[in-house]
Chains A and B, each alone.
Chain A
């Protein structure tokens, strides 16, 4: 067979794999619902300055004549204590939450994967011991607490928050990829590649890495939800998005002081967090079934 034919055949196989995967995913109505919600939220967050009714309310805006209004036709999530539209601020809050999750994943997943591949491949060497022990150290304290401590020691703002959470997140990927790599290390296709003298880099990237795609993608989807919770928690404590910027956690914390009478200031941002995390979890479960991932 010609080389091009081989490439074409591989591409065609990949395409049928994808459509098969989508078929499996689409069989689960909950996951599809999650995906639709997620797409809507992402669109709303990206287009926030254009689609929200009062984009200027996302900053240091005040209008005391319309403060603390309960949900009505003009402000359907009500207004906060200085007269800003809660709905607008929730949508802008999504921008912070989502960009936090995306940045954390971009910063933490690649190093985690690389270290996991290396540690799993070079089993029973010093390299493995060093990498996995360092991983253990980072997993020795719940991520929220170490992220809190690091953000507090640097100064609290969204950049430091992103850095602190990323620093906490790579070990999970390192562990996941490590366990997959370790289980494949002595499979015939890897041994055969070694015997024929294929370069190590090629073995890691083309023989082993593709087997990690399913579990890693599933974990990323589920983790997006976790990171958003973590970010909201940091903001809730006061170590995240700083006012007047609208962080979802900050809004819940500020609103909680006005419970029970002015409930909309808390309940709507809190619901917004629940909805986005639920959506990520539903999609993640769908991916888990699709890739037949056992345990993450």
Chain B
């Protein structure tokens, strides 16, 4: 088991190293001088030259990469050429809001997706099955930003059930920062009203992020339940007279969840990617909105950092998912041993 985890970690590190070379390379070969872009057209030649030397831009590519990587390993991602602050500080300011959002929407898509998927698979070809398939078709076909706008339009503008933008009402001041998650911080600070307020703010963006995923997940779970229902062991259990409910929960669920769990890494990746769009619609002050801002301003240091952070998050999620799957499916865990 430990060997398996170690192997996966090593693989992830190799991939991340490759990703860093790729993105750093692209950032350096694009037309335009990063130093000139950062300082603007009014800067003198000497100023530009000085910044070029500070950023090692006058050195060959491998040297530049070496110095950059050395910084990254020490936790220094460079200065944002747009906000003029260390990129790491920018990221630590904006990341918690996005993590909170991603976590919530993952929770929603997990619970709703599993329940509808299991039900649709178990009662296949029923009205519920048909309805859930129709909904998942539409959910997959609708781009997340359109979902976000639609939900905002219906639930906020027309029905007035939830606030449209931001993380917390403007009249309230955010709770003292402990975790960066407003809901948890609000509760910890003993201000349930504050926590409730930010909970209300998070529902619409989290739901918009969840919908596309949910559709995918419920479809995967459905088809895997349908497959497993036709297996001999289910027939054998039925013949033995084991109650239907206990067949479903005790024997059917675990093997049926393997495909769903193994695409969970992809799910989270999609939620993170889609957060780039949804945060824009709901003016959610998170990492993704920061990322879009630096991208629109061609802030090379920050763009490289953003891609890298997403890569690390994605790699971590994938390693965790693989470990969970190997617990669910002993065949994967024991693969290396039999040979």
Contacts and interface: CB of A to CB of B under 8 A. Distances in A.
Interface of A: 133-134, 136-138, 140-146, 148-150, 152-154, 225, 229, 232-233, 236-239, 249, 252-253, 256, 259-260, 263, 266, 270, 273-274, 277-278, 281-282
A64 B314 CA distance: 48
A263 B152 CA distance: 12
A145 B307 contact: yes
Q: Which 7 A-B pairs have the closest CB atoms?
A: A152-B295, A142-B273, A137-B18, A278-B141, A260-B157, A144-B273, A270-B146
Contact of B146 (A141, A143, A273): A273
Nearest to A237: B292
A143 B276 CA distance: 12
A133 B300 contact: no
A256 B14 contact: no
B150 interface: yes
Given A140-B314, A237-B292, A274 B142 contact: yes
A256 B149 contact: yes
Interface in B266-323: 269-270, 272-274, 276-277, 280-281, 291-292, 295-296, 298, 300, 303-304, 306-307, 310-311, 314-315
Nearest to B16: A140
B30 interface: yes
Contact of B303 (A137, A152, A259, A263): A152
Interface string B112-124: 0000000000000
B15 interface: yes
B143 interface: yes
Contacts of B152: 259
Which DSSP category, helix, strand, loop or mixed, fits chain A's interface? helix
**B interface secondary structure, majority:** helix
B73 to A, nearest CB: 18
A263 B31 CA distance: 40
Contacts of B138: 274, 278
B131 interface: no
B22 interface: yes
B26 interface: yes
B277 A152 contact: no
The number of chain B residues touching the other chain, given as a range, is 35 or more
Contacts of A146: 23, 307
B270 A270 contact: no
Contacts of B15: 133, 136-137, 140
A133 B295 contact: no
Given A142-B314, A225-B141, A259-B157, A270 B150 contact: yes
Contact of A133 (B18, B272, B277, B306): B18
Given A145-B273, A260-B158, A239 B295 contact: yes
A277 B277 CA distance: 18
Contact of A148 (B22, B270, B295, B304): B295
A290 to B, nearest CB: 18
A115 to B, nearest CB: 16
A282 B286 CA distance: 35
Given A238-B296, A281-B140, A141 B26 contact: no
B103 interface: no
A145 B311 CA distance: 10
Given A148-B276, A237-B276, 8 more contacts: A136-B15, A225-B141, A237-B277, A237-B296, A238-B296, A259-B153, A263-B153, A274-B142
Contact of A140 (B140, B143, B157, B315): B315
A166 to B, nearest CB: 14
B177 to A, nearest CB: 27
Given A133-B14, A273-B143, A281-B140, A239 B26 contact: no
A277 B150 CA distance: 17
A140 B19 contact: yes
A149 B18 contact: no
B27 interface: yes
A260 B23 CA distance: 40
Contacts of A252: 145-146, 149
A137 B19 contact: yes
A277 B15 CA distance: 32
B137 interface: yes
A121 B137 CA distance: 36
A65 to B, nearest CB: 28
Contact of A142 (B142, B143, B269, B296): B269
Nearest to B308: A141
A148 B310 CA distance: 13
Given A142-B273, A259-B149, A263-B153, A136 B18 contact: yes
A264 B142 CA distance: 17
Contact of B310 (A134, A141, A277): A141
A268 to B, nearest CB: 11
A266 to B, nearest CB: 6
Given A133-B14, A140-B315, A141-B19, A150 B26 contact: yes
Contact of B295 (A149, A236, A282): A149
B311 A140 contact: yes
B238 to A, nearest CB: 26
A47 to B, nearest CB: 24
Contact of A270 (B149, B276, B311): B149
Given A133-B15, A146-B307, A277-B141, A141 B281 contact: no
